[in-house]
């Protein structure tokens, strides 16, 4: 029988049904991704921090000092944060749009909305092996696109490009392989149909004020 641990961190409920994103992300992938992979990251994070001072720290605080932590904390704290963000920036709601303020910032930073999507998708496609593509707000309050390996993210003190994530796209194979096999580019094209701009707008406003959602 598995040993129970006192969990500080919990997995938030998925905000839609497993089959809600069909056409872009299939139900089987979403169920496995959320109930197996996502659940494992939070369970393993809680195991890694049990009996340590990290039990009293926020997830963002742990990430900000990740260079001082064990690989188990780094991988699972990153995995928990990244996936909790990922679930929220997807939606079955059709035609959500960037706010006027965010759309203007995207155009100023990347030239156009289409150019932004192309650069974001390229960041995911070019990430060798497993990882994430990110749209972040930098410490200078500018938008930037970056990518990280494995379960690293731009909140970590070891990140090459640091900032507050407002959009993250998972490019681990478990996020797409059942439907798209080795065609990561097809997944990166389809995911734009289920991006939740209402959530990203909120995260953008919070990030401009130095806050993570």
Q: How would you label 47-64 residue by residue, b for 16+ Cβ within 10 Å and e otherwise? A: ebbeeeebeebebeebbe
The CA distances from residue 208 to 32, 85, 185, in Å, are 34, 17, 31
Find out whether 126 is annotated in a ligand binding site. Answer: no
Find out whether 174 is annotated in a ligand binding site. Answer: yes
User: Which neighbouring-strand residues pair with 169?
Assistant: 133
Find out whether 83 is annotated in a ligand binding site. Answer: yes
Run of H or E including 169? strand 164-170
Structure tokens at 155: 């909140």
Task: Note whether 127 and 146 are within 8 A (CB).
Answer: no
Q: Three-state SS for 120?
A: helix
Find out whether 37 is annotated in a ligand binding site. Answer: no
Taking the CB of residue 152, how many other CB atoms lie within 10 A of it? 21
The CA distances from residue 98 to 84, 103, 120, 154, 198, in Å, are 21, 6, 15, 22, 7
Binding site, annotated residues for Mn(2+):
33, 83, 170, 174
Binding site, annotated residues:
33, 83, 170, 174
């Amino acid at each position: 029988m598995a040993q129970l641990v006192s969990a500080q961190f919990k997995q938030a409920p998925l905000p839609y049904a497993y089959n809600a994103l069909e056409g872009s992300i299939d139900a089987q992938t979403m169920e496995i991704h959320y109930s197996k992979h996502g659940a494992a990251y939070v369970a393993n994070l809680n195991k890694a921090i049990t009996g340590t001072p990290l039990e009293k720290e926020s997830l963002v605080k742990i990430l900000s000092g990740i260079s001082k932590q064990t690989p188990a904390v780094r991988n699972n704290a990153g995995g928990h944060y990244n996936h909790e963000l990922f679930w929220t920036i997807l939606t079955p709601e059709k035609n959500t749009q960037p706010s006027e303020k965010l759309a203007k910032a995207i155009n100023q930073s990347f030239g156009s909305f289409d150019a932004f999507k192309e650069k974001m998708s390229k960041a995911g496609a070019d990430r060798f092996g497993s990882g994430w593509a990110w749209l972040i707000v930098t410490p200078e309050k500018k938008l930037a696109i970056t990518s990280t390996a494995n379960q690293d993210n731009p909140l970590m003190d070891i990140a090459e490009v640091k900032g507050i994530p407002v959009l993250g796209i998972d490019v681990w194979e478990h996020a797409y392989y059942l439907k798209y096999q080795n065609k990561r580019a097809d997944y990166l094209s389809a995911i734009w149909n289920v991006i939740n701009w209402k959530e990203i707008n909120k995260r953008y406003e919070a990030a401009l004020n130095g806050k993570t959602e």
